[in-house]
Each structure stands twice: as C-alpha cells, then as structure tokens.
Structure 1
Amino acid sequence: MPNVPPPAALPGTPTKVTLPEGTPLFRVHSSARSATAFNPAPADRLYGGGRFDGTDGRPYSCLYAGLEPAGAVCEVLLRSVPFAADGGPRLLPRAGVVRRSFSFLRLAADVTVVSLMSGADLASVGQDAWLVQAEAAEYPWTRNWGHWIRDRTEPWAQGFVWPSKREPADRAVILFGDRCARDAVAESETSAVDFATPDGEDWLNSVLAPYHARVAP
C-alpha cells in the first residue's frame, strides 16, 4: 500500500518470533567491514538505502542477513537485475561484486523479532505483501512503515523477519543495533568467501547459476 500513511494505532497484535541462539545467518557485506558489524550509516530519507534502514531523522544501526545462503546472495546482488532479452544469463556488474564478501554467522543469543511472514502477520501491523515485496524505488515508504512498526513494538522487537523477495523459499532478517547486544551475532567456523578472488567468484557463480545469473566477464 504505497503512499498510504500508517494508522494511528496498531490494528492487531504483532506476531513475535524468537530466533534461538545458534541460528545460522548468512550475510553479503562490504569486505572492508567486519562480518558481524552493524551498519551505522543512516539512509537518506528519500534516496538509496535498504528496505528498513534507519535514517537521519530516525537513526539506528542495522544488520541484514538471510536465513539461507541463496536468499542472502539474491537479496543483495540480484536487486533490480533484469533478465536478458536474448535469454542469456543475467550479468552482475563486476564493480558491484568484487568489494564484497559472504560470511557465515550465527546468533550468539536469542533474538525476538516481528514476523512479517504471512498475510495475517502483515495485517496485524496494518500492511499487506507490498511492505516486503516493494522494489527499491518505494523504500522511502517501506522505511517509514518500518519506523512506525519499530515504535509500536518497543522495546521487545529486536528486528523483523520476512520472505525474501528474490528467493521466496528463504527468509530475510534485519536486526536493530540499538536493541541487540553488541555480541548478539558471531562468526561461525566456516571461512568467509571473498568475491574478489577466483575461488570466491567461482563459489558465487555456483550459487547464482540456478537463478540464471553470473558475474559479468
């Protein structure tokens, strides 16, 4: 429901879900940033940024991850990448890939999040599938709704979980840095994958292959 402001009050009771300690998380992130670091940079109120980022007017650090490897890759790297008219693979610009890595993480504590998985979950916060399916051009509105939901689930909601737009079989999660312990996310024993290396590129292309995509030559 784009361009519709949130109501005065929650129409229902938001669905609480606890992601237990030990839950695997998978993250595509800047290679210059620690795998477990929450992003402290607020999004512009109108331009760029992610679906539920903080902004200058509503600042908070955040960490996006997938609950499966493919979902994490697709959410970050296949955003707004069209299929080729000639039927060839979707080509990811190399410049947008080589500065990134893939990390295997886990929750080091239980985390309670608002579920946005089902129609009933979304209706409880006055929304429908638009909130978790909108494209990037509408993120200023999804961010506004995210701030509104955060406000009305304070202090217990430490993040949100929703179906990945680009791999609907997987789930995406955002964790809020101001509501999670500093050590709530830890690295697993599996080494990170650096996409700038030949082995890293091969690994990434193997994940992208079922989605008819690959890194451009």
Structure 2
Amino acid sequence: MVSDPPSAPDRNTWFEVAVPAPPEHFDPLVDVLPAGSRLYRTFSAAPDRHVTTFNPGYGGPHRFSFFGDPPVPVLYAAQSEIAAVCESLLHDVPLTGGRIMPEHYERSVTGALETTRDLRLAVFHGLGLRRLGVEPVQLTASPARTYRATVAWARAAHAAGLDGAEWMSARLDTDRAYIFFGDRVREDDLRVVTSYGRVFVTGPDRDWLVDLCASVKVDVLTRTR
C-alpha cells in the first residue's frame, strides 16, 4: 500500500517552519544566466554608489548575506523593475497594506544592469528546491528572523564554486531575485544600462511609484510644503 505523501507546510503556519541546514553534499540544480540579461536594482543613492556596486558587508543580516571572514561582497538584483521595488521599498510593508515615508523612498533610485558574461547560479526555486528537499517557506519565503540560518545556503552555493543564486521573490512570486558573489562576479561583469533609471523624489517616477503602491494598498506619503 502506498501512503499519501507528506503535505506541504501551510502558508498560515510559515512562521513555525524551521530552516534546515544545506545538505552535506550540496549538489544544486545550476542555471546559466546568459550574457546580455537585463536586471534591476532599487538602492539608496550616494555619490560613490551605482547599480553595479557590490555591498562589501554593510547592514544585515539579509537572506543570503553576509558570510565569510572578511565578508564576501554581494549584489542583489531582480528580474523586473517592479520586483526590485517589492524587494526593497516594499520589503517590510505588511501584505495587508501600509505606507512608505518620504525619507524612505526619496533617497532611493532604481537602475538597470546587464550581464556581460554567462553566470552560473544555484537554483533555489521550482525543481531546484525539490532537488534540495526544501520548500520555499523553509528558505526563500521565510521571515527575517531566520536569515542567520538561510545565509548558510548562500555559503554552500559559494563553496560549490557558483557565481550566485536565484530564487522566486517572496514579495512578487512571478519574478526571480538574484544574488551575485563579489569575489566571483566583478563589477565589469555587469554593465550599467544608462538609458534607464527612476528617481522617486518627484515627477513621473514618483507618480509611477504612487500608482504601483496604490494597487497593493500602500500609501506613498509626500512632504507637506
């Protein structure tokens, strides 16, 4: 008699699911992100930062950073401009709705980059997760308090000689998110797309952000003049 397979963790009990350690013999599915792929980032603007600038170890912990001593620099990116906003400005806004303060979005910009060579990435979605024996809720959709455990999976991908990892954004689950390891991927492996950019301080780009956020019941507050 064949027994029923174990059921997947219920979405309503995600906060009770523990993050497992990566397998001792880490053998993930590998995806090749081809040269010429366009990705997006939303990040805090500064004179010394641009869309291809790696984070050397500031802040965190994040889902897949940081690890190593000294820390391995990382760069997060997203498949679309909307996913980039969801993974940054909307990252901590409740799914039930909320608001974004001016001091949060006014210092942020969205830029685009293109890969200049093929990048080999661990697959943390779809059959890639099944191969590794984990559910999204245990790795790529777990809450922030689990990040000290999820980062071990990035360390495992790095130890396997890969350039980074890819997964489905927990905040826009139709699009992929990416992490690149700065000791494997150099800034000149990525090219700034100079024809694209969004600055949210005012004007059409802020209007675009307001409309996007309104569609998910998030208010973009403006300054009182």
TM category (shorter chain) comes to 0.7 to 0.9
Q: What percentage of aligned pairs have identical amino acids?
A: 30
Partner of residue 74 from structure 1, selected from 63, 83, 86: 86
Partner of residue 9 from structure 1, selected from 7, 20, 25: 25
Contact 1:30 1:99 (C-alpha < 8 Å) held by counterparts? yes
Partner of residue 196 from structure 1, selected from 201, 208, 220: 201
Equivalent runs, 1:21-100 vs 2, <5 Å: 21-32=35-46, 33-43=49-59, 48-55=60-67, 57=69, 59-83=71-95, 90-100=98-108
Give deviations 1:153-205, integer Å, cap 9, x for gaps: 22xx1111100101111110111111113311111142321222333322222
Contact 1:42 1:59 (C-alpha < 8 Å) held by counterparts? no
Q: Distance in 1 between matches of 2:38 and 2:194?
A: 11
TM-score, normalised relative to structure 1: 0.84
163-172 vs 53-62, which moves further: 53-62
Structure 2 counterpart of 1:128: 135
Contact 2:158 2:181 (C-alpha < 8 Å) held by counterparts? no
SS at match of 1:133: coil
Q: Which runs of 5+ in 1 are unaligned?
A: none
Q: Which runs of 5+ in 2 are unaligned?
A: 1-16
CA change 1:125–1:74 in 2 (3 A) is same
- Give me the CA root mean square deviation: 2.1
TM-score, normalised relative to structure 2: 0.81
Count of residue pairs brought into register by the alignment: 203
CA change 1:97–1:71 in 2 (3 A) is same
Q: CA deviation at 1:4?
A: 3.6
Structure 2 counterpart of 1:102: 110
Report whether the alignment pairs 1:212 with 2:217: yes
SS at match of 1:191: coil
Contact 1:42 1:55 (C-alpha < 8 Å) held by counterparts? no
Q: CA deviation at 1:19?
A: 1.0
Structure 1 counterpart of 2:11: none
Q: Distance in 2 between matches of 1:162 and 1:4?
A: 17
SS at match of 2:135: coil
Q: CA deviation at 1:146?
A: 2.0
182-191 vs 51-60, which moves further: 51-60
Q: CA deviation at 1:210?
A: 2.5
1:21 alignment partner AA? A
